[in-house]
Structure 1
Amino acid sequence: MTLTHRLATPDDLGALRALVDLAIAELLKGFLTDEQIRSSAAIMGLDTQLIDDRTYFVIESDGVLAGCGGWSRRATLYGGDHSATRDTSLLDPAKDPAKVRAMYTHPAFTRRGVGRLILGLCERAAAAEGYTRLELMATLSGEPLYRSYGFQEVERIEDDRGGAPVPIVRMVRTIRNEPGVHSGP
């Protein structure tokens, strides 16, 4: 299996939204109750600001959508277009971490390197703009990937904006800025 990547465009929105919905519905099973999964769908989602900013990646395998995710130079840590807590103010690379955002893998492509590819793309792009740290808000199903990539837990919270409280984990990682070298662990 060969994975390719490209920047997402507005033409991808329908397919990306379908992937996000499927990933939330399927990949959180075993970690959350059905009620929490429904709440997750209300809390999480696609933030089209990332597409507008050209920081959101589409991952494909032989032309099939395998995953998506990106990074942001804006203050919002997580949540989709519908989130009331979105903050589009720009971050300062000298003091703020870039945000890894909206990572989703198609259930048929889990454990095949999609997440690691996205993290590497995000890390290199953020480093190129002068960022030295990354921050993200992990779902319980994503937490093992982020830990294996070198992210460390900062805090655990529960977001109840979707109804049932959903446990999530804020995590950070220092960027390993070595030109030409994959910066994963």
Structure 2
Amino acid sequence: MTSPQPSELTTRWACAEDLPRIRDLMQTAIDTLQASWLTPEQVAASHHLMGLDTQLIADGTYLLAEIDGQLAGCGGWSYRATLYGGDHSAALRDPATLDPARDPARIRAMYTHPDFTRRGIARLVLQRCEEAAAAKGFTQAELMATLSGEPLYRACGYVAVEDVEAETAGLTIPFRRMRKAL
């Protein structure tokens, strides 16, 4: 008799067929993980600013982390100028291509399912995205951190460069722009 195998964590780059699962994870993560940092009204309004940018999937730069086939986390990197925001936040999007010699790569749309937090999943996704950006010649990475994500990014070597207050739905949502040398 064989003993049960431990849960297996795998990563892979996302494809269009993954979109429904990614959207579900993002919805759950925003609603649950932001609740300790924002008011209920801010959490609801943050959906206007956060979410899925399908350009990342089209570019092949959006990574999924799965445990036994269940989506546990996701995140991406980008060689485009957009720093944050999803398909629905067009005013935040800029598809211009970055120059690795002078611009930092963008770390984008990092989410962990609440059932899988504190297991190193976000750290692994972040590391793989940084490695992929570095392999394309980028020497720095930049991201827009939520208050709930900032402790992870600090622990991974990112430093705050700017506090940002984004306005949406009549509310202010706090973010922190952060950078790291790769």
**TM-score over 0.5 (shorter chain):** yes
CA distance in 2, matches of 1:113, 1:144: 13
Aligned to 1:25: 31
What do the CA deviations read for 1:87-106 (whole angstroms, capped 9, x no partner)? 00000000000000000000
Matched, 1:52 2:80: no
What do the CA deviations read for 1:5-61 (whole angstroms, capped 9, x no partner)? 001000000010011000000000110000110111111000000000000011101
CA distance in 2, matches of 1:46, 1:157: 20
Give the secondary structure class of the aligned counterpart of 2:168. coil
What do the CA deviations read for 1:100-141 (whole angstroms, capped 9, x no partner)? 000000000001011111111111100100000000000000
Aligned to 1:130: 137
Aligned to 1:182: none
Q: Structure 1: which 5+ runs fail to align?
A: 176-185
Matched, 1:15 2:36: no
Task: State the 1:161 CA deviation.
Answer: 2.5
CA distance in 2, matches of 1:164, 1:3: 38
Give the alignment partner of residue 143 of structure 1, picking from 124, 147, 150: 150
Taking the TM superposition and a 5 Å limit, the aligned residue runs for 1:30-41 are: 30-41=36-47
RMSD: 0.8
The TM-score, its normalising length taken from structure 1, stands at: 0.93
Give the secondary structure class of the aligned counterpart of 1:116. helix
Give the alignment partner of residue 127 of structure 2, picking from 85, 98, 120: 120
Aligned to 2:4: none
Aligned to 2:82: 76
Aligned to 2:105: 98
Matched, 1:61 2:67: yes
Aligned to 2:173: 166
**Paired residues, number:** 175
2:172 is aligned with what amino acid? P
Task: State the 1:78 CA deviation.
Answer: 0.2
Task: State the 1:157 CA deviation.
Answer: 1.3
Aligned to 1:6: 12
Aligned to 1:180: none
State the structure with more CA Rg.
2
Aligned partners of 2:46 and 2:168 also within 8 Å? no
2:164 is aligned with what amino acid? I
1:46 is aligned with what amino acid? L
Aligned partners of 1:43 and 1:162 also within 8 Å? no
Q: Which runs of 4+ in 1 moved over 3 A?
A: none
Aligned partners of 1:154 and 1:171 also within 8 Å? yes
Aligned to 2:3: none
CA distance in 1, matches of 2:74, 2:38: 22
CA distance in 2, matches of 1:77, 1:3: 28
